[in-house]
Structure 1
Amino acid sequence: MSLKTTEVTSALNVETLITQAQETSGLRDFGDDSFMLPMQKLLECIVQDSTLHPEGLASIVADVQRCLVNRLRFQQDLQAHPEISQEDVDDPIIILGLGRSGTTKMQKILSAPDDVQKMLFWRLWNPAPFSQAQEDQADPRIALAGTSNLVATDNNAVHAAHHMEEQEVDEDWLLYLLTFDDTIWNQLVFSPSYLDWVTERSSSGPFAYTKTLVQYLQWQDGGKRDRPWVMKGVGYIANMKSLISSYPRATILHTHRDPLVTIPSWAKFVSAMWSLRSKPIDKQLIGQQVMRYWDWAMDRYLHDRDKMNLASCIVDARYEDVRKNPIGIAQEVYDRSGRSLNAPAKQAMAAWHNSNEQHRFGKHEYSLAEFGLNEAMINDRFADYITRFIER
């Protein structure tokens, strides 16, 4: 079923969505309203690019509503508890890299011990507690996260590429949805015009806001208590200045895998993700969009890594080692951060590794040709990265 542009425009009306969020939450104060411009632009671009199917439109409306309600609830808690902004989150372990380079595996291994803070999906999906939550009962955010179409989807391609569960760790990049000002939105919905717009903007504001959300999550969990966060976001490679400004004592793990593999793999993944909300999209357009994003992101990363002299805080890890020796990589990360990897932590990591074989949720199959790509194209666009970090 096709949607008329007027239907999409009506459903994505900013004033209506704001009013509905205020009515749902019973709150009116958003605090800083700098999110309004990017939200308006995001919705305009979605209408302009017009790829949504009816279920996808309903999902985007729900996503926007969820983000707005969480902003309102967070603002209320921040006003009532200004000590939230004093929480120390400056020294996380942060995993980044090209999409499909082993970042998820390393996040889950490094999150396995009890003495770290974990980015659980249900907390990322709704960082603000519900007003009706009872301390002696399971947090209602858990069950609601389980109904998310990212978790509950029956799309096997999504599960094979990146399986999500409400009580498992996931990318804190999801928190950036609340800013409406980050390329994470382009992972949920195909919108070339939004990607063109947002990649020209400064990321300092979205990163500063999202840091306060991390402080908020830590405050909810009783404070730091000598537990570093384990964070992950493949999109972080495009924003190293803002990342380090927000987390100045971070230890960064960069996983490296040949772009000849990661680029078509990511194209297959976002193709599956976009199908949850969009009508079928020409695969050559998908290939072009993926190349445009990762080429831009990697150029920024290589430039900032060198200019900012970040080598001392980055652990570089080959994908082959992620597969075969992830505990060794974890040890190197701990050594670089100045923390001791004790026996219980190492045992927890090994237990996760031994019980989670690759392709547990199906094999993620892809090819360059499927998306109008070829080896020469990849080798040319990623030549500097390949020369520095990829062994062939």
Structure 2
Amino acid sequence: MLVSDALIEQAMTTTGLDRFDSTSYREGLDVLLADYNSYDHPEPLIERMRGGLVQSLVDRLKTTDYLAKRPELLTRPVERPLFVFGMPRTGTTLLSNLLACDPARRSALTWEIEQPVPPPTTATLKTDPRAIAKLEQEKAMLAARPEMGKYYRNSAVYPNECMFFMIHDFKGLALESRGKLKEYRDWLFQTDMTSAYTYHKRFLQLLQADAPGAWSLKMPSHALWLDTLLETYPDAQLVWAHRDPFTATSSFCSILSMAHRGYTGKVDYEWLGEDCPYQAQLHLDRIMDTRERLGHDRIVDVHYADVMRDPMATIRKLYADLGDTLPPEAEAAMQAWLDENPQGKFGKHEYALDQYGLSVESLAPKFDRYLSQYDVAREG
């Protein structure tokens, strides 16, 4: 059994630190553990869960300590951050990787999310010893399991999701994916996310200490909390990634099945067949509800099919829709990234709805509102 107080004590012992910026993390941690502990899990996987939770607490302690030593960082603005979101598995990763090629943009890179203290400088964003060490680990992993590259296009020096630092507040769907955690999921979808976005901003203020820039950020589930996001970042640029929702749901089920194996040792196909469509519809409905309140033009649309067909034309249009101009050096860097990372470089990610007791016919009512409003290219 995992116990909140014991995890917190372990994190404090590990760091030699004992002060968090707030106690906002505690409710989510307690709800998560109550749900997680209600099931039996193999001891090695409980230890894996423990390690991840303690690391989130360690990172929050270190972030708090660093910002206390450099309080001026909290006065520096985070101006016009760009957020890419949508229902899961709609091409947000590809889009964020392309945006990260623009030298004028700043992305939260995988290695610095995992090891934020001390933050890097602009010159060392991709050459910091921590980045190099992570790249070596990644190289070894792909050599041992090359099939992993087809599921998620990531690297130590590529941008990663805001999720992986928002979970320092223990509010995030990455935690929900670690088993059948319905109580935690339902709590998360109705809870006030203000503290998570407050922490999100603090974390960016840490990362931009000596490596500033115009932030480009991505997390599909920003879709769920756009009103709270805008309370924290009123001048945010919002980009909605669209894709065939039937294909995206199938891919979503597949990705979560891997998380289930990693944290429970088995896959609950029936639960995923219920959970993933529910989440997919909620993502879409909440974006559409928010757009109706904000006005259509407040959110910019990008379609996965357009990115696949002509990525650079799609990026140029995105920049124009945002009121920006795509610089030639950024376009060249994006094209170089595309040339280096062709679709299917590591193989094709295979998935099917019927593995989870689903079909296009059974899902159609969930996506009727969305597909009646948006002309989304079908992939099936």
| Same fold (TM > 0.5) | yes
1:263 to 249, 265, 286: 249
Is 1:67–2:53 an aligned residue pair? no
Is 1:107–2:107 an aligned residue pair? no
The 1:327/1:302 distance shift into structure 2, 3 A limit, reads: same
Deviation string 1:336-367 (CA, Å, 9 cap, x unpaired) is 33332111111111111122111212211111
1:92 to 76, 81, 88: 81
Q: Which residue of 2 aligns with 1:369?
A: 354
Contact 2:102 2:330 in 1 (8 A): yes
Distance in structure 2 (CA, Å) of the matches to 1:373 and 1:342? 44
Contact 1:121 1:145 in 2 (8 A): no
Q: Which residue of 1 aligns with 2:224?
A: 238
Contact 2:100 2:158 in 1 (8 A): no
Q: CA deviation at 1:188?
A: 4.1
The 1:285/1:170 distance shift into structure 2, 3 A limit, reads: same
AA of the residue aligned to 2:175 = W
Q: CA deviation at 1:23?
A: 1.1
AA of the residue aligned to 1:114 = P
Q: CA deviation at 1:391?
A: 4.3
Is 1:15–2:5 an aligned residue pair? yes
Contact 1:253 1:316 in 2 (8 A): yes
Q: Which residue of 2 aligns with 1:274?
A: 260
2:314 to 329, 332, 357: 329
Q: CA deviation at 1:164?
A: 2.8
Is 1:171–2:161 an aligned residue pair? yes
Distance in structure 1 (CA, Å) of the matches to 2:137 and 2:80? 33
SS in 1 for 2:37: helix
Contact 1:267 1:287 in 2 (8 A): yes
Q: How does 1:66-215 map to 2 (within 5 A)?
A: 66-129=55-118, 138-140=128-130, 143=133, 158-215=148-205
Q: CA deviation at 1:165?
A: 2.2
Structural RMSD (CA) = 2.3
Is 1:354–2:339 an aligned residue pair? yes
Distance in structure 2 (CA, Å) of the matches to 1:284 and 1:388? 30
Deviation string 1:261-283 (CA, Å, 9 cap, x unpaired) is 11011101110122111121231
Contact 2:36 2:181 in 1 (8 A): yes
- TM-score normalised by L of structure 2: 0.90
Deviation string 1:290-331 (CA, Å, 9 cap, x unpaired) is 11222222222211111122x323221222101122222222
SS in 1 for 2:234: coil
Farther-moved stretch of structure 1 (368-377 vs 84-93)? 84-93
Q: Which residue of 2 aligns with 1:4?
A: none
Q: CA deviation at 1:153?
A: 10
Contact 1:102 1:255 in 2 (8 A): yes
Distance in structure 1 (CA, Å) of the matches to 2:171 and 2:135? 22
Is 1:218–2:208 an aligned residue pair? yes
Q: CA deviation at 1:154?
A: 6.0
Contact 2:305 2:377 in 1 (8 A): no
Q: CA deviation at 1:388?
A: 1.3
The 1:241/1:157 distance shift into structure 2, 3 A limit, reads: farther
Q: Which residue of 2 aligns with 1:48?
A: 38
Contact 1:240 1:305 in 2 (8 A): no
AA of the residue aligned to 2:276 = V
Farther-moved stretch of structure 1 (99-108 vs 52-61)? 52-61
Contact 1:49 1:192 in 2 (8 A): no
Distance in structure 2 (CA, Å) of the matches to 1:261 and 1:312? 27
1:27 to 17, 35, 46: 17
Q: Alignment identity in percent?
A: 24
SS in 1 for 2:209: helix
Q: CA deviation at 1:64?
A: 1.1
Distance in structure 2 (CA, Å) of the matches to 1:229 and 1:23? 34
2:294 to 280, 298, 308: 308
Farther-moved stretch of structure 1 (187-196 vs 319-328)? 187-196
The 1:158/1:47 distance shift into structure 2, 3 A limit, reads: farther
- TM-score normalised by L of structure 1: 0.87
Distance in structure 2 (CA, Å) of the matches to 1:163 and 1:56? 25
Structure 1 unmatched ranges of 5 or more? 1-8
Distance in structure 2 (CA, Å) of the matches to 1:379 and 1:351? 39
Is 1:298–2:284 an aligned residue pair? yes
The 1:163/1:146 distance shift into structure 2, 3 A limit, reads: farther
Contact 2:242 2:302 in 1 (8 A): yes
Structure 2 unmatched ranges of 5 or more? none
